[in-house]
Amino acid sequence: MKVVFTFGRFNPPTIGHEKLIKKVESVAGSGADFLIYPSWTQSPDKDPMPHEVKVKYMKLAFRKYADKIISDPKCKTAIHVVTKLHDAGYTDVTMVVGGDRVSDFNKLINKYNGVKAKHGFYEFANGVKVVSAGERDPDATGVEGMSASKMRKAAVDGDFESFKTGIPNVMPDKMKKQMFDDLRKHMVVEASERDYKDEYAKFQSSPERIKYRAELNKYNREKGTYGNGDGKDASHKNGKIVGFEDQSKNRGRREKSRLKGYKKNQVKRARKKVS
């Protein structure tokens, strides 16, 4: 039995990967099976989306080949894939990769042909053939110059318009945007771009918030709802007191200082009235 396969990160899936898959199909022709194996590794920079997430998008981007995309936890590397194919009874195996990876995979996979090791064992009379899907021109536009690294950079830059041009048209724009957001999430882009502490500080220092706190504090003190030593704070809803709750344990030093100052002023005013 004959089989042609490819193995890669597909993180995210691109029109460049579509070209690769079509090459696998072409090499297989009508006389061999063909299979697509996405890797299982994950890292924020080169392999951000988890395996199950990218497989979901692969099946949307490459709908025609959805049943050829194999998610097998035992196939962590290309060597594991070849072992699996050997165990399945295939006697003629061909791997298709990008032109820049042919030499590396040819040496690696055939190094273990007939050798039992941690990955298991496989042996093929003519070894494993590794063929090129074609060379990629990083300076070219369109499919010839598309790469997952360009897509990841677009995600980091927040450039969805450039990002979506690298995805097969069969995927709806809504799903393209979802993949864009997922990629950014797993690359920790949003977290690194946003400074929540700074955002909160700016929000609380806005004139509106300062005015609100001043009015609320004045109202509460005049009504005796806190700062009176009873250990209670007022509960508010829509600007009105609706009940009381235990005094906040998180009241800051500045608030405590204001309360002390307020009490001192009360004492001073009382003394003046007496005198």
pLDDT digits (tens, 9 = 90+) for 5-16: 999 999 999 999
> pTM of this prediction?
0.67
When mean pLDDT is compared over 139-153, 199-213, 217-231, the highest value belongs to 199-213
Q: Are residues 223 and 138 in the same domain?
A: no
Total domain count for the chain?
2
Position 191 scores a pLDDT of 45
Instruction: Identify whether residues 177 and 231 lie together within a single domain.
Output: no
CATH code of the domain covering residue 74: 3.40.50.620
Average pLDDT over residues 40-50: 92
Same domain assignment for residues 135 and 28: yes
Q: Could you give the 3-state DSSP secondary structure of residue 93?
A: strand
pLDDT at 192: 47
Domain, as residue range, for 48: 2-192
Q: What does the alpha-carbon distance between residue 117 and residue 228 come to, in Å, rounded to a whole number? A: 77
Flag whether 198 is in a domain.
no
The answer to whether residues 56 and 166 belong to one domain is: yes
Q: Which band of pLDDT confidence, cut at 50, 70 and 90, is reported for residue 118?
A: very high
In a domain, 211, yes or no: no
**Does any domain span residue 33?**
yes
If asked whether residues 28 and 111 sit together in one domain, one would say yes
CA gap 196, 193 in Å, rounded: 10
Domain end residue (candidates: 157, 175, 192): 192
Assess whether 31 and 91 both reside in one domain.
Answer: yes
Q: Both 139 and 234 in a single domain?
A: no
- Greatest mean pLDDT range, 84-88, 194-198, 251-255, 263-267: 84-88
Tell whether 232 is covered by a domain.
yes
Give residue 89's identity as a one-letter amino acid code: G
Q: Which residue has the higher pLDDT, 22 or 201?
A: 22
- 168 and 74 in a single domain? The answer is yes
What average pLDDT does this structure show over 12-27? 96
Q: What letters, b where the CB count within 10 A reaches 16 and e where it falls short, cover 86-106? A: beeebebbbbbbbeebbeebb
131-135, 140-144, 203-207: least confidently modelled range? 140-144
Residue 210 lies in a domain: no
pLDDT at 267: 60
Confirm whether 174 is domain-assigned: yes
Cβ neighbour number for residue 10 with a 10 Å cutoff: 26
Strand ranges in 173-264 using DSSP code E only, listed in sequence order: 232-237, 240-246
Nearest in space to 189 (alpha carbons), one of 159, 162, 166: 159
Task: Give residue-wise pLDDT tens across range 154-209.
Answer: 999 999 999 999 999 999 999 999 999 999 999 976 544 556 677 778 778 888 88
Q: Is the pLDDT of residue 114 over 70?
A: yes
25, 18 contact by CB (below 8 A): no
DSSP 158: T
Question: Using 50, 70 and 90 to split pLDDT, how confident is the model at 150?
Answer: very high
Query: Within a domain: residue 83?
Result: yes
Considering the domain architecture, whether residues 43 and 174 belong to the same structural domain is answered as yes
Domain presence at residue 128: yes
- Which range among 16-30, 238-252, 256-270 has the greatest average pLDDT? 16-30
Q: Do 58 and 143 share a domain, yes or no?
A: yes
Helices (H) and strands (E) in the chain, counts: 11, 6
Q: Provide the b/e sequence for 192-217 (b: ≥16 CB within 10 Å).
A: eeeeeeeeeeeeeeeeeeeeeeeeeb
What is the structure's pLDDT at 126? Answer: 95
Over 90: is that where the pLDDT of 105 sits? yes
Question: Are 155 and 70 in a shared domain?
Answer: yes
